[in-house]
Structure 1
Amino acid sequence: MPQIPARSGLRGPHARARRPARIHRAWWVAVVAFIALVGAASFRAAPGVLIDPLHAEFGWSRGVISGAVSLNLALYGLTSPFAAALMERFGMRKVVASALLLVAAGSGLTVFINESWQLVVCWGLLVGLGTGSMALAFVATVVDRWFVARRGLVTGVLTAGSATGQLVFLPLVAWAAERHDWRTATLAVAFAALAVVPLVLWLLRDRPRDVGTTRYGAGSEEDAVQEAVPAGAGSAAGRALGALRSAARTKTFWLLAGTFAICGASTNGLIQTHFVPAAHDHGMPVTTAAGLLAVIGIFDLAGTVASGWFTDRYDSRRLLAVYYGLRGVSLMFLPMLLADAVHPPMLFFIVFYGLDWVATVPPTVALCRDHFGDDGAIVFGWVLASHQVGAGLVALGTGVIRDVTGSYDTAWYTSGALCAAAALMALVIHRGPERARPEQARELQA
C-alpha cells in the first residue's frame, strides 16, 4: 500500500480555501468613514450649548445667533449634492480630507470673533461648507461604491455615526464651556476634526478597483465593477445640476424632499439647536440638558442601525410613515415634560425620541437608489439639502418664537403637526422600479 506523504493535502487551492478569509476592504472603508463622520459632527454639536454663553458675553439676541446656526444648517445641505459630484470627479479621500480641514479652520477661528457677522462667517459659512462636503451624501457614496450586500445596514451604521457624534460630543462641549469658557470648547472641537485627517488620508480609498478588489457582496465581476461615472469624467456641478433637473420632473423627488425637510426641521433645527436652552428656561442645568441629548445619541445608534436592517427587508415607504408619525406624537408631549430636573417621563421621551432620531435616513437613501439608479447618491444629496433648509428655517424661526413669546411651546406643537403631514406624504410615494429587486434579493441571501 503506497504511503501518503505527511504534508499531503496542505498545498494547492484546497489549502488556500481553508485559510481564514480576510476582512473585506469595504468594511475598513466603512470604519474610516464612520470615524470621519464623527469627527465632522463634533463641531455641529456646539450650537445648542453655546447659544447662552454667546448671548451672555456679547448681548446678541438668540435670533441673531440662531441665524448663524441657520446658515450652517442650510449650507450643510446645499453643499451636499455638489460634494457628491466632486467625490465622483476627484475622489472621496481628497474631498473628505479637505472638508475636515475646513471644519477645523472654521471652528478654530471662532475664538477670535467679536462681531455677529464674524460668527456667521466662521460658524455659518466655513463650518457649513465643510460639514456639508461630507454630509450624508458621503454615506450614500460609500455604500454605493463599496457594497452590494448589507447596504441598508451599513447606511444605518454610518448615519448613526454622523448623528450620534453630534450628540455624544454635547456633554464634552458643555463641560468645557462651563468649566473654562466657550472658546476652549470650540478649540477642542477643532482639534477633534483635525485629528481625523491623517486617518482619512491613510486608509480611505475611493473605489474597490483602487486596491484590486470588488464591492462587498457583488454577484459577479461585471456587477462589482459597475460604476456610474469614471473618476475625473465631466463637470461636478453639471452632474449635480443634471441629476436635479432629471429628478425634479418626478413627484417622488418632491415627496422625498418634503418629508426630509420636515425631518430636518424636527431634529437638527429644533431639538439639537434649541433643546438645551429650552430645558435651561425651565431651570435645568446646561450640562444636564446636554447629557440628555447625549443619551438621545446613544439610542439613536441602536435605532438607526435597526432601521437599516429593517430597510433591507421591509417597504421603505411604510417605515418612513411609522417613524414620522411616532416622532410627531412625542413632540406633542414635550412641553409637558420639560422641568428643572430629570424625571421618568422625560427619560422615556429621550429614549423614544433617540430611537427615531435619524431612523428616516436608511429608507430615504434606499428610495433614492431605487427610483433614481446611478444618480441615487447625488439625488439624495439634493434631498438632504431640503432636510437642512428645513432645519435652518426652523432653527431661525424657533429662536424668533422664543424672543417674541418667551416660550418654545409653539415650536414643539408646530413640528409635531408637520411630522404627521410627513407620515402621510411617505405613504403617497409609489413603489420603485423593478431594477431594485435583484439587488435586494442578493442582500438578503448574503
Structure 2
Amino acid sequence: MAPASAPARPARPIAPWRAAQLWYLPLLGTAMALMMARILVMARLLDVAAFGIYSAGLLVSTTFCMLACLGLQSLLQRDMPVMAARGRVRRALVLLFQSALVACLCAVVLLLIPALGVGAAGLSAPVFAIAIVHGLSQQVFLVATTESRSLGQPVRYSLQNLGRAVSVTALSAAAASLSGSAPLALGVEAAMSLALSAATLSRMAAAHGARAPTLLAAAWRTIRRARWNTALIFLGISLAASAVLTADRWFAAALLPAREFAQYAFAGVLVLIAQSTQAMLNASIYPALARRYALQGAAPTYALSARVSLSLLGAAVLLAVPAGLALSAAVQRWYPAYEPALAILWPVLAAGALRLSDFWSSFLTICGHERKMLWLQLLVGGGLCAVWAAALAMRGAAATLADFAWLALLLSIGMHGGAALAATRAQRKGAVA
C-alpha cells in the first residue's frame, strides 16, 4: 500500500495587530529612503546627460507599472486581504500568480516596440527595452510582496523591501561608478529585482504548502475565469492615474532638451519621495481600510481615511518651509550642477505634499466606487492637461521648467480635491441610504 501523503502545511494566517508591528515603519522607511537615495547617488555618479537617460528610464519603468497587470494587481490588492480574512488564501495566491503572469505577457508584447527599432521618452530602442524590463521587475516585485502586507504582516513586508533596497542600491551604484553608464545601472537594478521576486514567490508558495510551478499552472488554467470586467475598470483607473501622476514628466521628456529634462527630473525626486512615502504608509493602511470595510462598513472606513489624509496634509504644510530651506542649501552644497532646479522647488514641494496625503482614493476603491475614480481622473486630469497645453500654445514661447512644475501642482490639487469631494459625497449618500 502506498504511504499516506503528508498533510498539507497550513496556510499562513492573518496576523492580529500588535504594537510590535509598528517596527515596520522604520524598516520600510529605511527601504524607501534607500530607493530614493539611489536616485541622488546616480545624480552624483553620472554626468547630467547620463542622469537624464537614467531618469527617462525610470519614467518608462514607472509607466509600465501603471498597467497594473491589466488591472489584476489592483484587484489583488483590494481582494486578497478580504479573501485571506475569509480563509480563501489558496484562491488569492492563484490570483497573485495570474497577476505576475500577465505582467510578463505585457512586457513581451511591449518589447516588440524596441525590437522594431523604436524608442520613447528620448531613449534609444535598446535603452527603451532595458527600461521595459526594469518596469517588469518592479511590477513583479510589487505583486510578490502583496501577500505579506495583505496578511497583516507589515514587518515581513518591510524586510522584503529593505533587502531589495540594499542590494539594488549597492549594485547599481557600483555599476554607475565603474562604468558611468545609465543603461547598465538600470539593467543591474532590473536583474536584481527579478531575482529577488523569483525567490520571494518560491518561498511564499512553500509557506502555504504549495509549489510555485503548481500555482503558476493553476493561474494559467483559470486565467480566463478571472474577474476581467472589474480588472479592466481598475486598468482604466490605473492608466488614468498614470497620466495624472506622470503627465508633467512625459511632457518634459518630450519638450525639453536632455540636460534641462535632467534638471526637472532632479527636482521631481521630491515628488517621487512623496509618492513613495504614501505607498509606504498605504502598505499598512490600505489592508486595514479593506478589513475595516469588510467588517464594519463604509462609515468607519471613511473616518479613518479622512483622519490619515488630513493629518498628513497638515504635517506636510507645517514642514514645507523648513524643508525647502534645507533642501536649497543642500543642493547648493552638494549638487551645484543642479542649481537651476531650485527655481521650481516650491511648486514641486506643494505637489508632493498633496500626493503624500491622498488616501481618499483608497476609500473610493475599497468601497466599490472604481467608476467614480476613473471618471474623476479622466475629467479632472484630462481637463487640466488640456487647459495647460492650450495656455502654453497661446503663449507661443518655448516651455520652461516652471511650466511643467505648475502642471504637476495643478494636477495634484485637482486630483486630491476631487477625490476628497467624491469620497465625502459617496459617504453621505451611503449614510442617507
TM-score range, shorter chain: 0.3 to 0.5
Structure 2 length-normalised TM? 0.48
The structure number with the bigger radius of gyration is 1
